[in-house]
Amino acid sequence: MAYNVPLALNYLCPFESNLVRIGNSGDGGYLIPAGVLNEIKAIISIGISDDWTFEKRATELNPHIRVFGWDRTSGFIVFFYYALRAISDKLLRARSVSDSRQAVHLIGRWVKKGVSFIIFWYPKHSFIRKWVVDQATAKDQAALSDCFSSVGNSEAFLVKIDIEGNEYNLASRYNARN
């Protein structure tokens, strides 16, 4: 059975594109059109958690790109907190040498993650530890429009949103208002 798609929906039709994967092979890596990194000046990255391999690789491929990141669940303070929690929850309660080794490994992982975070994000890039929402109503929130205005009107930029299933809701509410 053939369907005729209304012309108004043509923008939904697939088109051929040469895509490259930037970042790791799992969550945190994304497919983007080849060459797009040479055309942009900035990346707005909403949702980072503990994986910024996309942002890091993008800036390796184009060192002139600035990254503006937002995530309430991320940051060196968060990673050092996880390391301290691993000391109290895992290391101090270890019942065997194996448990102690696992705890030390976990602590080292979070400390390394915190140091890596500092090295990547400061001073060249910007990171703000806030939730990104359509319209901010609390101190721990940033409006999506504020994310866009951080880049500047004259710069071409890429937007990456990875906020655990809320991407569509955020974008659709923003589009409905603007």
pLDDT tens readout for residues 51-101: 999 999 999 999 999 999 999 999 999 999 999 999 988 888 888 998 899
pLDDT of residue 134: 86
Which residue's entry shows tokens 């809320």?
166
DSSP category for residue 4 = P
Position 175 confidence tier, pLDDT thresholds 50, 70, 90? low
pLDDT of residue 139: 95
pLDDT of residue 50: 93
pLDDT tens readout for residues 25-35: 888 899 999 99
Return the structure tokens found at 100: 């102690």
In angstroms, what CA-CA distances link 25 with 28, 30, 115, 117? 8, 8, 23, 20
> What count of other Cβ atoms lies within 10 Å of the Cβ of residue 167?
14
Number of Cα atoms under 13 Å in the Cβ half of residue 150? 22
Beta strand segments in 75-153, E: 126-128, 131-133, 141-143
pLDDT of residue 15: 76
pLDDT of residue 1: 56
Percent of the chain residues past pLDDT 70, beyond the cut: 93
Percent of the chain residues past pLDDT 90, beyond the cut: 61
pLDDT tens readout for residues 109-126: 999 999 999 999 998 999
Which residue's entry shows tokens 């060196």?
76
DSSP category for residue 132 = E
User: From the CA atom positions of the chain, what is the Rg in Å?
Assistant: 20
pLDDT of residue 8: 82
pLDDT tens readout for residues 133-166: 888 999 999 999 899 998 887 789 999 988 876 7
